[in-house]
A and B are shown apart, each in its own frame.
Chain A
Amino acid sequence: AQSVTQLDSHVSVSEGTPVLLRCNYSSSYSPSLFWYVQHPNKGLQLLLKYTSAATLVKGINGFEAEFKKSETSFHLTKPSAHMSDAAEYFCVVRLTGGGNKLTFGTGTQLKVEL
């Protein structure tokens, strides 16, 4: 069965420093992986998706993620954090053969400090 594990429930960085949000996946097949962001009182917004075309995926707002099959990881990074990046981030895997069903990680709350 496919699943994702987000290794940190909370991450705190200073504005202007790099962001690393960690995600490991479990899948018997080549997975489809996504990162979503949720700002307070809003729905989830797609940041980026991996669909096997390229291992380094670029998303919106300067975020990117690298698919590493050997490490079963799909970590989200950004070179320089901005105050507006403070939000909750979800790593998500699409279930193979499950229509378009998604399995969500438990989320990482990103705090950005001055």
Chain B
Amino acid sequence: DAGVIQSPRHEVTEMGQEVTLRCKPISGHDYLFWYRQTMMRGLELLIYFNNNVPIDDSGMPEDRFSAKMPNASFSTLKIQPSEPRDSAVYFCASSPQGGNQPQHFGDGTRLSIL
């Protein structure tokens, strides 16, 4: 079975550029999560969706960050304009509906802003 698929795996870009990260959740999963992982702050939840609707975006650091889920099989996380402090590994995860269902993680996008 295909797991959560993220692209690109690595992204290096210059400060000020727009960055778009992509995620394809596991088919049939109703929840989709975006996380950021850094050495200093560990794993942080940025935003999550239920049935394509954003439920909680309280973890989104600034207005420069935005996320969309136009359909059940695709989500994007966009940073515009990007800054060096946005450098991190960004993970997407999905899970089925229902209590106690585990989240399934993609392999992440390693983002470096120069």
Contacts and interface: CB of A to CB of B under 8 A. Distances in A.
A43 B106 CA distance: 5
Contacts of B42: 104, 106-107
Interface string A29-60: 00010101000011111100101000000000
What size tier do the contact residues of chain B reach?
A: 20 to 34
A104 B106 CA distance: 17
A99 B50 contact: yes
Given A43-B91, A44-B91, A106-B42, A100 B101 contact: yes
B107 A41 contact: yes
Contacts of A41: 107-108, 110
Contacts of A36: 105
SS class, residues of chain B in contact with chain A: strand
B57 to A, nearest CB: 12
Contact of B56 (A49, A94, A99): A99
The 4 closest A-B pairs by CB, nearest first: A43-B105, A51-B100, A44-B105, A46-B102
Interface of A: 32, 34, 36, 41-46, 49, 51, 90, 94, 98-102, 104, 106-107
